[in-house]
Amino acid sequence: MRLLGHRLSGGAAVGFAIILANIVAISFARWIAPYGEADLVGDVWAPPSGADWLGLDNLGRDMFSRLLFGGQTSVSLALLITALSFSLGIVMGFTAATTNRWIDAALSRLVDIIMAIPQLILALMVLSVLGTSIPVLIGTIAILDSTRVFRLSRAVAMNITVMEYVEAARLRGEKLWWIMRREVLPNALPPLIAEFGLRFCFTLLFIASLSFLGLGVQPPEADWGSMVRDNATAINFGGIAPLVPAAAIALLTIGVNLVVDWFLSIHGRAHGEGA
């Protein structure tokens, strides 16, 4: 099997299959789920059965249905936050690399200050003060995550801006935005695309961590992190309820990483052949 002119490895094929299965499941959750997101359908922590494939949760809601709806929330938030963090981080990183050293120094020191505080602690502080609404959650994580994107995009852009074709564009009188968009960005895409996949995984796990601590997505809306928290005590009774969303998070993370590894390998080979 080939994709983009390159043969898929076994691991990449598995990764794409996992990602595709998740996309289909969460996209058609409304039609696939046998029950609503908050419907009470039976006893607390009832075991899996023919009617309830994954059993019931701490309130008697269908785990399979909540897994699908929770996936919509978790994956959609992770994608949106990752896209926002990359937009902000890339613009700041490219600006720092292509402008004068004072702007570079100011942006770099600002990022250093933010990164000096552990990300989870800083997020907990902000969410405790500003509240746990979805817009605040998105903005907080996107800004914190953009610092990591800034470091990568700045480093990549610094290597590109010394190339002859960038100097030629400057001598032609091209504007800064044109140089970033037409010269720097196309040549920085491979490492940034790979980083996008990795940052998506980190963001998915970060959202789940905040929800597990009670400062992420709030009930009755489902997401995978809060599902683990709500059903954690089921482990004491031999239940599998908290393992279901945890497995979903792990499986999607593994799938994305398998695809990212394959993408990095083909990029590395192409770079080696080009050298």
DSSP 256-273: HHHHHHHHHHHHHHHHHH
- Asked whether residue 5 is assigned to any structural domain, the reply reads no
The answer to whether residue 46 is domain-embedded is: no
Can you tell me the distance from the alpha carbon of 234 to that of 243, in angstroms, rounded to the nearest whole number?
10
pLDDT tens per residue across span 128-170: 898 888 999 999 999 999 999 999 999 998 888 878 888 888 8
pLDDT score, position 24? 94
Q: Looking at residue 275, what is its pLDDT?
A: 45
Per the prediction, the chain carries an average pLDDT of 87
The pTM score is 0.88
Looking at residue 49, what is its pLDDT?
84
22 belongs to a structural domain: no
Phi and psi of 3, rounded to 5°? -145, 130
Residue 274 is predicted with a pLDDT of 47
Residues with Cβ within 8 Å of 201's Cβ and at least 6 positions away in sequence, in order, are 252, 253, 256, 257
Question: What is the predicted pLDDT for the residue at 4?
Answer: 52
Does 235 fall in a domain? yes
Query: Using omega within 30 degrees of 0 as the cis cutoff, is the peptide bond preceding 219 cis?
Result: no
Strands 2-3 and 6-7: antiparallel
Q: How far apart are CA 99 and CA 247, in angstroms?
A: 45
Which residue ranges of the chain lie beneath pLDDT 70?
A: 1-6, 267-275
Q: In the prediction, which pLDDT does 131 show?
A: 86
The domain in which residue 170 lies consists of 27-41+53-274
Q: What is the CATH number of the domain that holds 113?
A: 1.10.3720.10
pLDDT of residue 106: 92
Report the C-alpha gap between 43 and 164 in whole angstroms.
69
Residue 129 falls inside a structural domain: yes
Residue from 201, 199, 190 nearest 255 by CA: 201
How many independent structural domains does the chain possess? Answer: 1
